[in-house]
Each structure stands twice: as structure tokens, then as C-alpha cells.
Chain A
Amino acid sequence: MDIKQTVMRGSKGAFKVILDLIKYIIPAVFILKALEHSGWLVRIADFFEPYMSYIGLPGEGALVIMMGQVTLYSAIAAMAVIDITVKQMTIVSTFVAIFHSCILESAVISKAGGNGVMVIGLRFVAAILACFILNILIPGV
């Protein structure tokens, strides 16, 4: 086994991931910062507040979930912008980890011969259920 080649292959993969990070994080942060400065972030957050409170998230959590539908990296960018507690961070991470990139992934599943809409729908339900339970189980705010 050649360690050098392993490192090379790993670095090549890492380089691709970093390019992806740049491609998705900068636009996501820009959109959120523009929303924040224009006052729309608060308005959107207020709109989603009542729904998000069921899973213990502030209204801004909705934006992380929406960004997660682009890529998981965009969701991470959103988490870096908004100001939330560790518990809320854990809950919203679980949500986007289970339910993300819904359009793209349902297309992939359908192409592989499965029922994309059903699988994605189930993931949405699963994400809500998991976060609802986590909100009860994790102590603190």
C-alpha cells in the first residue's frame, strides 16, 4: 500500500469538496446577510415562528431548513449566520441531516427505480418527528 497515493486521492476529494463549499456557502451567506440588513429576515422568521416552535426552533430555523434544500453546505452557511443556542443548533442539524436537497434526491431515487416522492415525504415526516422528540429530550433551551 502506498501512503502517498492515499494522501493524494484524499486531497483530491477534499479539493472538490472545498470548491463546493465556496460555491454554495458564499451565495447562501450573501442572501441571508442581505435579508438581515433589509429587515426581511425578521419578517420571515416571525412568519415561521409559530410552526418552528413545535420543534423548539426560532423562526430563523425555517431559513436553515430552506437553505438545506439547496445543499447541506448552504444550510451550514445559514447556521453560521443566525444566532441560536446549542440545543437549537443540534435540533436544526438533525432536521437538515435527515431532510435535505429534497428535489435533487427524489430525482436520484426515482432514477434508480424507487419511489422518490414517497421516500422524500417519509423523510420529511421523520425529520419533524425526530426533532419533536429531541426538543423534549434535550434539557435546557
Chain B
Amino acid sequence: MNWAGVFMETFEVSFSTILKMTIIIVPLLIGIEYLKEIGWMEKLSAKLRKVSELIGLPGEAAFGMIVAYSVGLVFGSGVIIRMRKEVEMTRKQINTMFIFIGMCHAVIEETIIFTAVGANGIIVLAGRVLTSFLFGFMYVWITKHTGTSIRKSSEKDIV
């Protein structure tokens, strides 16, 4: 086996990929930091409290979900953990939240990265958002209409 070729090509591909990502990510993260500073997510989440209640989550969850959707799960989880100290949530509600944000998170960063490697970012983004809404609403609907979930969301199951 041609190990020299393996090492050379590893170096070439890694270098160009990392360079490409670096050029995209640095300005992007500075931009996101700026958006956080001007508080756009708070403004948006105030409007989305109603939507949050529609899927059976407390209104406070809207902010955590907006953060996770746009910036990423790490920041989002931080917000959610802080929120959980103030608001009690059932296992079903936590599952609902993670189905929504699990399938679709960090859309700003990831869409741009996927576009950079050559995919059609718009299609990837639309596909993820639609899938996340489809499965999220389906889970909400199913648990609403089956007996098990009623028991599951009793006080006993609050975590």
C-alpha cells in the first residue's frame, strides 16, 4: 500500500477543507455574536410564545428553541437548562422539544458549511425544517391522542 500517497493526500484534502471552513466560520461566528448582542432572539421569542404553547410547551421554551434552531444545541441546551430551573417540564414535553430541535439545529452555520462543500444549502435547510416540523407535530398529535401519554404527563413523571 502506498503510504506516502495516503499521507500526502490526507494533508492536501485536510488543509483545503479546514482553510475553506475557517474562511466561512470566523466572520459567521462574529456575526452571530453581534446578533446575540442586539437581542434579536429575545424579540423573536416574545412573538413565538403562542407557537410554543400550541405544541404543548411552556412559553418560556420558545427562547431556548430559537437559540438552538439558529445558533446551535450547545447554546440552546444552556438556555434550556437555565429555563428548567424555573419551569417544570414533563418527559413528554422534553421529548417534544428535542424532536423539534434535534432534527434541525444550528441552521445558520450548518447551511453555510454544507453550501461550501458543494451541496444546495437551500434544499438542505428546507428539508430539515420541514422534516423537523412534520415529525414534531406528529409526535405532539400522537401523544395527545393516545392514552399512554396522558399517564406519562402526570405529576409522577415530572423530572
Residues of A in contact with B (beta carbons under 8 Å apart): 1, 6-7, 9-11, 13-14, 17-18, 21-22, 25-26, 29-30, 33-34, 37-38, 72-73, 76-77, 79-81, 86, 89-90, 92-94, 97-98, 105, 108-109, 112-115, 118-120, 122-123, 126-127, 129-130, 134, 138
**A26 vs B6: C-alpha distance when bound (angstroms):** 12
B53 within 8 A of A: no
B98 within 8 A of A: yes
Whether A86 contacts B119 in the complex (CB less than 8 A), given A10-B34, A112-B94, comes out as yes
Inter-chain contact B103/A126, CB cutoff 8 Å: yes
Contacts of A9 in B (CB 8 A): 33
B25-43 interface with A by 8 A CB criterion: 25-26, 28-34, 37-38
Inter-chain contact A22/B32, CB cutoff 8 Å: no
B22 within 8 A of A: yes
Inter-chain contact A21/B18, CB cutoff 8 Å: yes
Residue of A nearest to B34 (CB): A6
The DSSP consensus for interface residues of chain B is helix
Nearest-Cβ distance from residue A29 to partner chain B, whole angstroms: 5
Whether A122 contacts B22 in the complex (CB less than 8 A), given A89-B119, A93-B119, comes out as no
Number of interface residues of B (CB under 8 A): 58
Whether A37 contacts B114 in the complex (CB less than 8 A), given A6-B37, A76-B17, A112-B94, comes out as no
Inter-chain contact A7/B30, CB cutoff 8 Å: yes
Whether A30 contacts B124 in the complex (CB less than 8 A), given A6-B37, A98-B131, A119-B99, comes out as no
Inter-chain contact B99/A33, CB cutoff 8 Å: no
B147 within 8 A of A: no
A-B Cβ contacts below 8 A, count: 170
Digit string of B81-104 for contact with A (CB within 8 Å is 1, else 0)? 100100001010011011100111
B111-159 interface with A by 8 A CB criterion: 113-114, 117-120, 123-124, 127-128, 130-132, 134-135, 139, 159
B21 within 8 A of A: yes
**A18 vs B24: C-alpha distance when bound (angstroms):** 11
Inter-chain contact A90/B120, CB cutoff 8 Å: yes
Inter-chain contact B124/A97, CB cutoff 8 Å: yes
Q: Of B31, B98, B118, B124, which one neighbours A112 at CB under 8 angstroms?
A: B98
Inter-chain contact A18/B18, CB cutoff 8 Å: yes
Inter-chain contact B37/A17, CB cutoff 8 Å: no
